Structure 1
Amino acid sequence: MRVSPPTYRLRWDGAQAQAAIREAAARGLRLGAEHVLAESRRRVPIDEGTLERSGAASVDDATLTAAVSYDTPYATRVHEDLTARHAPGRSAKYLEGVLPEASSTVQALIAAQIRRATS
């Protein structure tokens, strides 16, 4: 008696897969932006804490773009003034300085979300 090999059927829905990957990438970006915000808050100069509290992370899901910002009238001045004195651990370039250090963590967060969505 001859046994036929099993047959399999695969249905590929590329649009659904692409949508799941984009959604996962947006989740990863959101986590990455929150990570950058948390790290920059550890460095932001503190007088009354207003600048630190003004920090926000946002993600544009349509363009898969993330942003971290501080929203006070003096945020840019404090960020750019390399001559100002700050408490230990606090510094100018509190946002810009974090980005190179956080990039591998941000990439890992995005990749983990995409892996989760595709496994």
Structure 2
Amino acid sequence: MTQRARLQWNGPRVIAQLRAAEVRGVQLATEHVLERSRDRVPIEEGTLERSGVASVDDEGDQVTGAVSYDTRYAVRQHEDMTLHHDQGRTAKYLELPLLEEADQVQALIAAQIRRALR
């Protein structure tokens, strides 16, 4: 008795779906870090806080996420530990949330990839 099986390989489609999931995950992760950093960014008029942006670069073999603030004084506010800020607002307003939320960032990306593998 002969049994036959037919297999259809969907490798390129699966790889494309995984890449899209990776991009979604990185976007969600960068938005999460941006949200957490906005809770700490020094605020006087709100210009620095409003300048925050989460972005994703999907070039080549890597997906890269970035969170940035775009004012002429953003770097100084982030790096100068001698500046005084309102309660709950700090220097390192981007670095600290990124470090504190590292597990959550990984979980957001992993969840999107797991969803694509279903």
| TM beyond 0.5 | yes
Q: TM-score, normalised by structure 2?
A: 0.92
Offset of 1:48 from its aligned partner? Answer: 0.3
Measured in 2, the distance between the counterparts of 1:10 and 1:82 equals 61
Q: TM-score, normalised by structure 1?
A: 0.91
Name which of structure 1's ranges 6-15 and 26-35 shifts more when overlaid on structure 2: 6-15
Please name the residue that 2:12 is paired with: 15
Please name the residue that 2:87 is paired with: 88
Offset of 1:61 from its aligned partner? Answer: 1.7
Q: Provide runs of 4+ in structure 1 moved above 2 Å.
A: 4-10
Q: How far does the alpha carbon of each residue in 1:20-45 deviate from its partner, in whole angstroms, 9 at most, with x for none? A: 10110000000000000000000000
Please name the residue that 1:27 is paired with: 24
Identity of aligned pairs, percent? Answer: 59
Measured in 1, the distance between the counterparts of 2:50 and 2:95 equals 18
Measured in 1, the distance between the counterparts of 2:2 and 2:114 equals 32
Mark the runs of 5 or more structure 2 residues left unpaired by the alignment. none
Offset of 1:77 from its aligned partner? Answer: 0.6
Measured in 2, the distance between the counterparts of 1:81 and 1:56 equals 21
- Aligned CA RMSD, in angstroms, stands at 1.5
The 5-angstrom pairing of residues 100-115 of structure 1 reads: 100-115=99-114
Count of matched residue pairs? 116
Q: How far does the alpha carbon of each residue in 1:94-114 deviate from its partner, in whole angstroms, 9 at most, with x for none? A: 001111111111111111111
**Equivalent AA in structure 2 for residue 92 of structure 1:** A
Computing the radius of gyration from Cα coordinates, the structure with the larger value is: 1
